[in-house]
Copies of this chain bind each other. A is one copy, B any other.
Amino acid sequence: MLDLYSVGMERGLLYETIVTTRNPDGTPNAAPIGVICKEAHEVVVYLHQGSRTFDNVRREKRFCVNILRDPMIFVEATIGNLDPAKFQTPGQDFSIKGAEAFFSVEVTSEKLVQREDHMGTSTLNVVRARVQDVIKNQEHVNPLNRAIYGIIEALVYLSRIDIVSEDERKSYLEKLSETSRVVNKVGSEDHKKAMKKILEFLEK
């Protein structure tokens, strides 16, 4: 049986995917969701209360993870009007037609947690789920991980920081700090080490 490593995922990294679920009325839903590869057959996702995905996963205890890079599908899934013709139901679950790969998962544990930030308090469901069939539509699958892009963005800031005004410098340092947060959230040890090196270089 294929596992997550067969679709290019690495343990501990977070990938940008489209999660498909079933609505109460039987129609499909799609949303962009970050999926953490925990083990060869285990993922973790953080779902926000108030979203359809949150409700559908609470109820159905299963969902499907689609790996793809089509920009319009990410946009339409986010603004909530992905054409129903873009879905298929090869088995029990909806998936996205033309995805590089997709896999169904079954929820093994859920934990509701409160998160407080400057925008207020929100409720998250921390969901662990076990991977079932992995379906590959192409031999080499490239799941989307943002870490290397964060590094490249940070290097753009780094290379400009000496030539910008004092005000811009402050804004660049804020952007770098946000980029560093993303890289540490989604990246591998190598990405984290590279980001650390950038911040150390800046301090000099």
Chain A interface residues toward B at CB < 8 A: 16, 32, 69-72, 74-76, 78-79, 119-120, 139-140, 142, 144, 146-149, 151-152, 155, 158-160, 163-164, 187, 190-191, 193-195, 197-198, 201
Main secondary structure of the interface of A (DSSP, over half): helix
Q: Are A151's CB and B75's CB within 8 A?
A: yes
A-B contact pairs, 22 of them (CB 8 A): A16-B152, A32-B155, A70-B190, A71-B151, A71-B187, A71-B191, A71-B194, A74-B148, A74-B152, A74-B155, A74-B194, A75-B151, A75-B194, A75-B198, A75-B201, A79-B197, A79-B198, A119-B160, A140-B140, A142-B142, A146-B152, A149-B149
Q: Are B194's CB and A72's CB within 8 A?
A: yes
Copies of this chain, how many?
Answer: 2
Q: Are A155's CB and B75's CB within 8 A?
A: yes
A166 to chain B, nearest CB (A): 13
Q: Are B146's CB and A72's CB within 8 A?
A: no
A194 to B193, CA, bound (A): 33
Q: Which residues of B contact A142 (CB under 8 A)?
A: 142
Q: Are A71's CB and B190's CB within 8 A?
A: yes
Q: Which residues of B contact A71 (CB under 8 A)?
A: 147-148, 151, 187, 190-191, 193-195
A158 to B146, CA, bound (A): 18
A72 to B151, CA, bound (A): 9
A14 to chain B, nearest CB (A): 12
Q: Which residues of B contact A193 (CB under 8 A)?
A: 71-72
Q: Are B155's CB and A119's CB within 8 A?
A: no
